[in-house]
Amino acid sequence: MARFRAVSHEERLTLVEHLDELRVRIVVSIVVFGVILALCFWQNHLLLEIASGPLPDDHRKLLTFGVTEPFTTTLAVSTYGALILSLPIFLYQAYAYALPAFSEAERRVILPILLLAPVLFLAGLAFSYFVVMPAAVNFLLGFNEGQFNVQVRARDYYSFFSTTMLAGGIVFQLPLAILAATQLGIVKVEQLAANRRYAYLAIAVLAAALPGVDPVSMLVEMVPLLVLYELSILLARVIRRPGAAGDMATPSTQER
């Protein structure tokens, strides 16, 4: 029978039941995404207005080429909006499906991380929208402006906006990745602190690989990543409990 609730660690399911549960959760995610996509397309004017917010007033009227581009661009923006709004549902479905594989001690680590993920994702979106996008847009539109007649194409701008927003939301998950790695015993906090310079180098490479192509947005994106890394180490030290490794190693009822 298809399940919408999370399966407990002690329950035993056959292969067919596991596949049936996976099918149901995929269908639920697709249906939710479809409904949210329809709502976003219905309110596409609001989404387009929000997305064009970082642009200067004299560039708000974006250019399109061809008969179909206004429709395809609107559909693309609505899809990105629906993807962002559907993310909590996707995370819950993935968590509920994978839950039986984790013991009680592991669940105590994973559940707070799962609850914090949407908060950090929204923080990343807000930072990208209010800090990264204005800095990047002002730099790029003002660069050598006396030599170019700068016109902003709708498809290119909204693609840049969407990828920048998604990248900001994803990279703000850095504390969760570090916290999960330390709590599950994959890496020690002392190792993270000792290899700080290598982490800084990796963060610089990551900031350069993010959608912003200019040095201003790279530096703006790099600063919060460095802060998040240091906060992650501090948080991992604060919540580290003596004997946690022993708790994690305790076999569950099903493993016995």
Give the start-to-end residue ranges of the domains of the chain.
Answer: 15-245
Query: The tokens of 200 are what?
Result: 């800084």
Q: Is the pLDDT of residue 5 over 50?
A: yes
Residue 202 confidence (pLDDT): 81
Q: Of 81-85, 122-126, 159-163, 171-175, where does mean pLDDT reach its minimum?
A: 171-175
Residue 151 confidence (pLDDT): 83
pLDDT digits (tens, 9 = 90+) for 35-47: 999 999 999 999 8
Euclidean distance between CA atoms 51 and 157, whole angstroms: 9
Average pLDDT of the residues in 136-144:
80
Average pLDDT of the residues in 111-134:
82
Using H for helix, E for strand and C for coil, what is the string for the chain? CCCCCCCCCCCCCCHHHHHHHHHHHHHHHHHHHHHHHHHHHHCHHHHHHHHCCCCCHHHCCCECCCCCHHHHHHHHHHHHHHHHHHHHHHHHHHHHHHHHHCCHHHHHHHHHHHHHHHHHHHHHHHHHHHHHHHHHHHHHHHCCHHHCCCCCEHHHHHHHHHHHHHHHHHHCCHHHHHHHHHHCCCCCHHHHHHCHHHHHHHHHHHHHHCCCCCHHHHHHHHHHHHHHHHHHHHHHHHHCCCCHHHHHHCCCCCCC
Residue 249 confidence (pLDDT): 43
Q: Is the pLDDT of residue 189 over 70?
A: yes
The residues facing 156 across adjacent strands are none
Considering only residues 183 and 61, tell me which one the structure prediction assigns the higher pLDDT: 61
Considering only residues 80 and 241, tell me which one the structure prediction assigns the higher pLDDT: 80
Residue 213 confidence (pLDDT): 55
Q: Assign 256 a pLDDT band (cuts: 50, 70, 90).
A: very low
Cβ contact 62:153 at 8 Å: yes
For the chain, the average pLDDT equals 77
Residue 38 confidence (pLDDT): 94
Considering only residues 235 and 249, tell me which one the structure prediction assigns the higher pLDDT: 235
Say how many C-beta atoms besides its own lie within 10 A of residue 73's C-beta.
Answer: 21
pLDDT digits (tens, 9 = 90+) for 200-223: 888 777 777 666 556 766 777 788
The pTM score is 0.71
